[in-house]
Amino acid sequence: MLNETIIKVEGLSKTFGTFEAVKDVSFSVQRGDVFGFLGPNGAGKSTTIRCLLSLISPDNGNVSLFGKSFKNERKEILSKIGSIIEKPDFYRYLSAEKNLEIFARISGASVSKMEIQEMLEFVGLGDRGKHKVKGFSHGMKQRLGIAQTLLHKPDLIILDEPTTGLDPQGIIEIRNLILRLKNEQNKTIVLSSHQLSEIELIANRMVIINQGKTIIEGSVSELLNSQELVVRLETDNIEATQQLIQLNFSEAKTTLISSDSLDVSIHRDRVPQLNRLLVENNIGVMAIEPKRKLEDYFIKTILS
C-alpha cells in the first residue's frame, strides 16, 4: 500500500480575472509521504492547495485524491482529509472545546467528547478547552487547528504555512507535532511552508513551484545530494584561505562574505581535506558551518 498514489495533480491551471495564479502544476503524493510544497510568495501554492480541497475550481487540469475526483465523490474525499489553510480560524466567541465539537459534528466521523479532550491534550491545550478562542495566542490557535485537523482521524493531512507568524518556540512545537504524526501515526502529510529548514527536516519528497508552474519534483535526499555543499568558513586570515582554496581545489567556488568569512561551494567529501589544508598552513579555523542545503537549492532552482 506504500506506493498508493494519494494525490495526483496534472496540468492544473487557474486564472483570477487576468491574473494567472496557476499555469501548469503537476505532482503526485504517495501514501506515507511527508511532502514539501515549496515556492516563493505568489508562486501559486495556496491556490493549488485550495484546488486540492475543492475551495477553488480549477479552470483546467485534473485533481484526484485517493483515486477519486471531486466531481462525483467530494464528500468521501473530504472525509479522509484534515487541513489547515494559511491560518486556522475559529469561532472566537466559542470555547476551544465547542469549536472542536462543531467541526467534529460535520467531519463525517463519530467523535466523542472524550476524544475531543484527548485531542486537546495531544496538542497541549488540555487545560484550555473551556476557554474562549478570542483569548488564544497565534500559536495556541495553530495547535487547536492541528487538533481540528486530526479529530476525525484523516488519512491525509494538508498544512498550508502552519508555522507562519509563530515565534521560534511555536515553530519547534508545531514541527514536533508534525514529526509525531509522521512517526507515531504514519499519516500522509502535505506541508507548504516558507520555512525551508522545516521542509528539509521533515519532508521526504517535495515539489518546487514558481510563477504557477512546477519547477522540480522528487525525493528531498536525492535532490539535495546531487548538489554541492556550501560551507561557511571563518578563519583568522581570510585572504590566504581564499588563495589556498583556489590553488588546491580548482572545482571549488568561493564567495567572500566579510573580512573573516567566506562561502565555499564544494563536494561534501572534500570538506575534511579542506580543513586539513587550512590547519597544515597554520590558518586558524574558527568555524566550518554547512549552510542549509535546501535554502541554496531553492534559490538556485528559482533563479534558474
Partner 1 sequence: MLLKNTYNEFVKILSKPRSYLGIGALTLLIGIIIFAMKVDGNSIVSFVTASFEQTLTFNGKVINGNLITFIILQMLIVHIPLLVALVTGDLISGEAAMGTIRMLATKPISRTQIVLSKFIAGALYTLFLTLWLGLMALGLSHLIFGSGDLIVLNSDGIVILPENDILWRYGAGFAVAFLSLLTVSSLSICLSTFAENSIGPIVATMAIILLFTIIGTLDVTVFDSIKPYLFTTHMASWRSYFEDPVPFASIKQSIIILLVHNVIFICVSIIGFNKKDITS
Residues lying near partner 1 in the complex (CB under 8 A): 16, 50, 53-57, 74-79, 81, 83, 85-94, 98, 102-103, 105-108, 148
Contacts (Cβ under 8 Å, ≥6 apart) of 15 = 21, 59
Residue placing its CB nearer to partner 1 in the complex, 133 or 229: 133
- Closest contact distance (angstroms) between CB of 102 and partner 1 is 5
- Closest contact distance (angstroms) between CB of 79 and partner 1 is 4
Q: CA–CA separation, 63 vs 139, rounded Å?
A: 32
Nearest to 303 by CA among 40, 34, 8, 115: 40
Residue placing its CB nearer to partner 1 in the complex, 157 or 171: 157
- Closest contact distance (angstroms) between CB of 4 and partner 1 is 21
- Closest contact distance (angstroms) between CB of 92 and partner 1 is 7
Q: CA–CA separation, 136 vs 143, rounded Å?
A: 10
Pairing of strands 34-38, 205-210: parallel
The helix or strand, by DSSP H or E, that contains position 156, with its residue range, turns out to be strand 156-160
Pairing of strands 285-290, 229-235: antiparallel
- Closest contact distance (angstroms) between CB of 304 and partner 1 is 30
Residue placing its CB nearer to partner 1 in the complex, 113 or 300: 113
Residue placing its CB nearer to partner 1 in the complex, 158 or 274: 158
Other CB atoms within 10 A of residue 184 CB: 8
Q: Is 32 within 8 Å of 186 (Cβ atoms)?
A: yes
Residue placing its CB nearer to partner 1 in the complex, 57 or 221: 57
